[in-house]
Amino acid sequence: MSDTENSNPASKGIDALSVAEVLGLMHKEDAVAVEAVGARLADIEKAVTDAVRAIEGGGGVFYIGAGTSGRLGVLDAAEIPPTFGEKSFKAVMAGGERAVIGAVEGAEDDEEAGRKAASEISGRDMALGISASGRTPFVLSVLKEAKSRGALCWLITCNEIERYPFLDGMITLPTGPELVAGSTRLKAATATKLALNMLSTATMIKLGGVYDGLMVDVVPSNRKLIARAEGIIMHITGCSRKEASAYLKESGMRPKVASLMKFKNLSREDAERLLKEAGGSLRRAMEG
């Protein structure tokens, strides 16, 4: 049995505790998740390097999971386009879209479905399996098939397991037994979400999606985000909101392009060209 499936000694008598005591116990257990991630920063760094390599090579990053683990992948991948204007992160969920909001029985054990799901993964991509146990048949099947196609293959797991031969790397986050035995939506999921946050955010930072902590590739799709985009341009260039609004519109609603247009007095086309030459980095484009 996996560590995450075992009973937690700290749970003894938990049903007789007060709400405050239960919450305090849960908070203490969550700290284990943070520590587990902190101990694996070197592995996450290597995964980021591979993710950047895949995206710069014209590929993408595929999260593969089932149940809670799969939903974490869906959540992280879904946040990348609006935050960074990128579509290079995708999620493959056992059971398909309907499994995102409800259980699809047997989906995580379907190896054939895993092999079929890997058909959209190419040798230019990175496949990142997410499995608390590290043994989910669907996830491992996708990874095996993806590796046969030449993809970079990684696995995030919350159990200490031996590395599979088809993996290029593994992020092991040993969070131990849950307070509710087997409910890996608790600290195992917390540790996994933290690792995914790090991986995707650090990847996008290295690809030029952030400048001084600002999401310069944000997609301004509503009033709140339009105001945020204008604020980004104002912060970077020192211009007024009226100017920022005008440059944003002229740039095609791309705050990074708008900022460079204002900062270097460039046309939209010249700003786009300079950014491309700088590998998408606003800092390099501004300093060049």
Are the CB atoms for 274 and 287 separated by under 8 Å?
no
Are the CB atoms for 51 and 189 separated by under 8 Å?
no
Distance between CA 257 and CA 255 in Å, rounded?
5
Are the CB atoms for 243 and 230 separated by under 8 Å?
no
Show the tokens assigned to 179.
Answer: 């307070």
Show the tokens assigned to 173.
Answer: 């986050």
Are the CB atoms for 158 and 184 separated by under 8 Å?
yes
Q: Is 86 assigned a catalytic role?
A: no
User: CA separation (Å) from 24 to 18, 19, 21, 185, 197?
Assistant: 10, 9, 5, 18, 25
User: CA separation (Å) from 153 to 23, 72, 156?
Assistant: 37, 18, 11
Q: Can you name the residues that pair with 126 across neighbouring β-strands? A: 61, 152
Of the residues 56, 79, 243, 250, only one is catalytic, namely: 79
Q: Is 97 assigned a catalytic role?
A: no
Of the residues 29, 86, 108, 230, only one is catalytic, namely: 108
Q: Is 36 helix (H, G, I), strand (E, B) or coil?
A: helix
User: CA separation (Å) from 8 to 12, 92, 177, 251?
Assistant: 8, 31, 5, 55
Distance between CA 95 and CA 119 in Å, rounded?
16
**What burial letters (b/e) apply to 245-271, b meaning 16+ CB within 10 Å?**
bbbbebbebbbbbbbbbbbeebebeeb
Residues serving a catalytic function are 79, 108
